[in-house]
Amino acid sequence: MTRTRVRFALALLVAGAFAFGQPAAIQQQLTFTPYHANGIYEVNEVVGWTVTPGPVAPTYAYKWTVRRNNAVVLKEGKLDLSSGKDKIEVTSDEPAMIYVAIEPYAELALAGAEKAVPATFVGGNTGRNNGLYAVGAAVSPTKIGLSTAAPGDFGSFWEAKLAAQAKIAINPQLTPVQTEVPGVEMSMFVLDALGSKAHGYVAKPAKEGKFPALIQLQYAGVYALNARAVAQRAASGWLMLNVDSHDKLPSDPSGNIPRNYQAIGNTDPEQSYFLNMYLRDSRVLDYLLTRPDWDGKTIVLTGGSMGGQQTLVLAGLRPEKITAALVCVPAGADTNGALHGRKPGYPNWPSDNPEVMKTALYFDPVNFAPRIQAVVMAGIGFIDTISPPAGIWTVLNQIPGPKEPLPLLESEHDNLTPQKGRACPERTRELLDLMVSGGVFKPNGIRP
């Protein structure tokens, strides 16, 4: 199919989904009640869940596997719900995230006996409708340490890149953009950066004055940015900059960007796709600092997934300028984890290639974290396999200043189980509403 026909077909699918209602909720045959409501335990404490049938009657037999950091198998077993409930328990003798996969392996006969394996399984709580369930817990998570030290030249590498970029004029080019949101002025921007150009939208209240600034970084993929959402945020009082992750116009859905961009240059820090991405983010901050309508005090960074990754990196790359960093399930952390008994996630760099693993350390948020001076809020999905929670805790534990972990006990990545992760965008909105009016973000610590 041509690209136009593909887009048309996708549009029909989307229209059909709204015309006939949203897809039915994925049914769950199992309910899990954690021993600790906040999902957090101490080393050598019993970590556990009570498992009961429902909300719909179980039709499968289930087995379970407990893994430390979703990598090292600690325990295995089968569920027996004949008495109306069962339990899964484990202890960990070290700080870690516990991931339990509960998988169907057979159908049940009417009397409860196991039958043949069906062609497919349905249901589950991980957003995939394949019968898989997962639960997660944290064991002394504030003590989870580095899996791999930063490269010896990490600091000098990035200082040299920032110094080289500083010699390039920003050369901002603004193109006005019409918006239906009242009381807002908006433009597309293009900025010169080292090796590429930075693009995005900038919007502000349509009145004289100086405003607190909000920079939003984008999640993974190649797509057009949501211009209306930018305008709506500006309408609430922010000088808002929404940054495209790629060297393309923010209105362009593709920009000829390779779909496998995250793998480009992954064996050489000088060639990594993330090098120019991070430098573009820094260049947008350079531009913001020149604007006379910035209030000169407040700069908040925010983003989810790869946008959270970029947020944490920029907060560490330019620590003296950032007030707060608000991230939901940030990606990219603990990239060398697979070499040390931790399952990593996006960008999914191959751990069997030593050059890739060396290069990854120059772009891992973990290694920017010690430089962060801003106050940080981070949403952590306890069963997230795209932004694994052990890596996010590792980042937070390297940040010397105040931070607020936000455990999302039942949440896989937010594109799979968005409803279960809603506490993070809600907390982000709450904090943005506080700070736009001059309030101070004081972290709550670990929230139940």
Asked if residue 193 and residue 64 are part of one domain, the reply reads: no
230, 186 Cβ separation under 8 angstroms: yes
- 334 catalytic residue (yes or no): no
Judge whether 102 lies within some domain: yes
User: What is the count of structural domains for the chain?
Assistant: 2
Q: Does 23 reside within a domain?
A: no
**pLDDT tens profile 219-263:** 999 999 999 999 999 999 999 999 999 999 999 999 999 999 999
Number of CB atoms found within 10 A of residue 362's CB: 23
pLDDT in tens, 71-97: 999 999 999 999 999 999 999 999 999
Tell me: do 174 and 99 sit in the same domain: no
Out of 141, 166, 181, a domain closes at: 141
Q: Rounded distance, CA 417 to CA 434, Å?
A: 27
Domain boundary among 77, 107, 141: 141
d(CA 421, CA 431): 17
Do 192 and 327 lie in a common domain?
yes
> Do residue 118 and residue 53 come from a single domain?
yes
> Can you give the pLDDT at residue 63?
97
pLDDT of residue 48: 98
Q: Are residues 98 and 72 in the same domain?
A: yes
Quick one: 128 and 243 in the same domain?
no
The encoded tokens of residue 164 equal 């080289």
Tell whether 203 and 282 lie within a shared domain. Answer: yes
Q: Which residues pair with 85 in a beta bridge?
A: none
Spatial separation of the C-alpha atoms in residues 398 and 447, rounded to whole Å:
19
| Position 354 in a domain | yes
| Residues 89 and 227 both lie in one domain | no
386 located within any domain: yes
- Within 13 A of 44's CA, how many CA atoms are on the CB side? 0
φ, ψ (nearest 5 deg) of residue 129: 55, 45
Locate 421 and state its tokens.
């992760």
Which CATH number fits the domain that encloses residue 85? 2.60.40.1930
* Cβ contact 387:333 at 8 Å: yes
| pLDDT at residue number 191 | 98
Domain-located, residue 264: yes
| Per annotation, catalytic residue among 86, 247, 384, 414 | 384
Q: 162 and 183 in contact (C-beta within 8 Å)? A: no
Please tell me the distance from the alpha carbon of residue 281 to that of residue 406, in angstroms, as a whole number.
Answer: 25
Both tokens assigned to 30: 């199992």
Give the SS3 label for residue 419.
helix
The pLDDT of residue 423 is 97
Q: Are residues 333 and 218 in the same domain?
A: yes
Shared-domain flag, residues 327 and 238: yes
SS3 label, residue 238: coil
pLDDT computed for residue 362 by the predictor: 98
Q: Look up the domain containing 137 and give its range.
A: 30-141
Residue 16 lies in a domain: no
Q: What is the model's pLDDT at position 25?
A: 86
- Of 95, 113, 141, the one marking the end of a domain is 141
Residues 132 and 168 reside in one and the same domain: no
187 part of the active site: no
Q: What is the DSSP letter of 26?
A: P
Residue 282 appears among annotated catalytic residues: no
Which of the following is catalytic: 246, 272, 413, 414? 413
What pLDDT, on a 0 to 100 scale, did the predictor assign at position 193? 98
pTM comes to 0.93
Residue 4 resides in a domain? no
Q: Which of 92, 305, 387, 411 is catalytic?
A: 305
pLDDT along the chain (448 residues), means of 10: 36 36 80 97 98 95 98 98 97 98 89 68 96 98 96 98 98 97 98 98 97 98 98 98 98 96 98 98 98 98 98 97 97 97 97 98 98 98 98 97 96 96 97 97 76
Residue 6 domain flag: no
Q: Which CATH number covers residue 392?
A: 3.40.50.1820
Considering the domain architecture, whether residues 252 and 273 belong to the same structural domain is answered as yes
Give which of 283, 217, 221 is closest to 244, Cα–Cα.
217
Q: Which residue has the tokens 């390039």?
A: 168
